[in-house]
Chains A and B, each alone.
Chain A
Amino acid sequence: MQAVSPSSGDPVLVVSDIVKSYGDRTAVNQVSLTIGAGECYGLLGPNGAGKTTTILIITGLLTPDSGSVSMAPDSAPVTSPHARRRIGYVPQEIALYDDLTARENLRFFGRLYQLSRGELKTRVEEVLESVGLTDRADERISTYSGGMKRRINIAVALLHKPSLLVLDEPTVGVDPQSRNLILEHLEQLRDSGIAILYTSHQMDEVERICTRIAVLDEGRILASGTRNELLAELGEYLDHIQLTCQGFSAPVEAQIAALDGVVGVKYVGTTLDVTGHDAAKLLPEILTVLGRHGVDVAGLSVERPDLEAVFLHLTGKALRDV
């Protein structure tokens, strides 16, 4: 059995040791995870790692060879209609009817979830508002941009107020502005208490919105935890801050070296290199010290170990090369 981490809120989804094989190939191999309310759980892995198969099992659309998936609080198996209706699924494809308007699409899917007439009307307006497309609601999907389609694709999954939202690479092919809107919306949903399972091979997205992350490769979870817990897999990982400045002196170096979290300070020519833990906390303190001593800063850069490095460390291969 692989890593099962405690979740931040009340458990919403419990996945235990699921296995799925196609012939000799094991697509999902003893995957276990728990997702709590208000938590965004990221599944990070390359294409073919088993993300989509895992998602299909979790949504009850695919039956595992072994293992179980249940929805809290009643531990209902996810294959039951009762549990399945608590899940909102956003497929990687734009699963909408191009010839219908956004509102018509929403109304259709809402009716499938058997929302009452009044509730359907209210929810359609609410989700349109939440994705910022109320003013375009009566236009056909075929006239929408890729980003707008993606937003409606997500809106459909939210109609029935799911307790778990499952998203399979929801920003594929989306322009940066729409991508940012989508991620902001997901952050709001997460903060409102919805449990989110998010798959992507975009590390920056996963790092931005996920509270916990699992690294998946060849059907197995290699490691899981918060970002910092995963970075700890690298051993002693340090952030690297580099500043270009004039007028640096030994006392200044001593004061910076004394800051909590700083591991090393090196000054060569006009370049100051600081290594330490948590650059986000250290950088303002360093700038304060420099400012106090009248040191002019002409430029700065920060290098932090990222999940790419973790993936490389765990699998021996780069995430984007697979």
Chain B
Amino acid sequence: MSKASQTSQKVSSKGVFRAVLGKEVQHGLRDRSLLILVILVPLLLAGITTLAFGQLDRGESVHLGVVNHDTGNLSQILVGQVLPSLESGNKPLISTTTYQDDAAAEAATKNGTVAATIIIPSGFTAGVAAGDPPALTLVTGGDTSIGVPVARAILTGYTAQISTVALAIQVATSGPGAAPASATVNSAAADLRDPVTIDDVTAGQRSLSAAGYFAPSMLILALFFSGQIAARGLVAERERRTLTRILLSSTPFWKVIAAKAAVAFGAAIASAVLMFGVFSLTGTVFGSWPVVAVLVLFAAAAMISISSLVVLIARTEEQAGSLSTVMIFVLAIVGGNFVPLSQTPQILERLALFTPNGWTTRAFADLSVGASDPWGVVAPALWVLLGFTVAAGTPVFVLSRRMARSSVV
């Protein structure tokens, strides 16, 4: 019996697990793969999401131009009441600039100073009273933002009510003993309501912000990227034959797998913590933190299992990288990580239920709007994620054992 064998009893077998774990971390830090996955990717995803959707959530007001050639009551209702009401409040929807002539307004629209310009023609009120109102003009430039739809919505709501006024005038001024048109106009104008009312889209007690939706989506991507570490590391060990050397030392294969999975899990959790930190600093609300933490753990386990399965099907490390990238993006698209499922065809909404992304995204969305029973809300997602973990994890175990055997021949 060699001296090494004699001394082997001095060291706990836990030391072997720690050795593999330590090597994984050291190797990951040295080749920077861990740093990229745990710090760079989450920061990039969180940063891009915050920049892209945080702006939307802050509800920056739409800047519109107004030219009023009319001197009657009805145009005053628009420029003196409707538009100012939309400019007021904590989160004003619009701001306006009044122009004296059409050319100046059109120039301002063209150069982007305003998103669109509303032009009220001369004799508008009189035209309504006469039953032949001239058309309101909406001048739009090349702006593709939300400004034009907002302006159009304001005008649509306003003209709908003007049509009601015109009808009322027609009824009131016809027949014997009819009231004068001007009196009817004044009376109807007093009854006009704001054409557009702004309410937050709410579900429960709080609104679901764009960042609140896309932050978990980006988190899921980060979890998938981190989840590949274990299986890709195993494929690399097989290719460089270090796996053979490890197995020859009588290190149980499950310890190799466990150490690699632990590193992948740790990387996934670390990236999640970093992303939560960034999003929280920018005001994104996720809901009950204990429930969020459990949801992340379950999601990470599912993503690690699925990405490991894809990687282990590959024959080389290069092929594994390509396959897993395709898998990540397909699942992200189907699972609604790039486009909210509510805006996709119904078939995609249904397909999303076959992805861990879809369930995780839905659970995060439900949590972020302040569900009264957060555990109950995420329970179905947790069960499904557990199912994904087992369904993908079982073949992963079988494939990795097969890999261990094939690594020696």
Binding site for B on A (CB under 8 A): 53, 56, 59-62, 74, 81-82, 84-87, 89, 91, 93-100, 104, 108-109, 111-116, 119, 156, 159-163
Contact = CB atoms under 8 A, between A and B. Distances in A.
A112 B23 CA distance: 11
A112 B4 contact: no
A239 B214 CA distance: 83
A109 B245 contact: yes
Nearest to B20: A112
Chain A interface helix/strand/loop/mixed? loop
B245 A156 contact: yes
A112 to B, nearest CB: 4
Interface stretch (B7-15, B139-147, B150-158, B279-287): B7-15
B23 A97 contact: yes
Of residues A74, A100, A104, A113, which shows the largest number of chain B Cβ atoms within 10 Å of its Cβ?
A113
A53 to B, nearest CB: 7
B409 A53 contact: yes
Contacts of B58: none
A163 B15 CA distance: 24
A84 B15 contact: no
Interface residues of B, number: 34
B40 interface: no
Contacts of B4: 85, 113-115, 119, 159-162
A82 B245 contact: no
Interface string B246-257: 111111000000
B7 A109 contact: no
Contacts of B30: 99-100
B342 interface: no
A132 to B, nearest CB: 22
A40 B244 CA distance: 23
B160 to A, nearest CB: 68
A111 B248 contact: no
Interface in B17-48: 18-20, 22-23, 26-27, 30-31
B5 A100 contact: no
A56 B244 CA distance: 10
Contacts of A53: 409
A161 B245 contact: no
A85 B245 CA distance: 11
B409 A62 contact: yes
A85 B242 contact: no
A86 to B, nearest CB: 5
Contacts of A56: 408-409
A91 B246 CA distance: 12
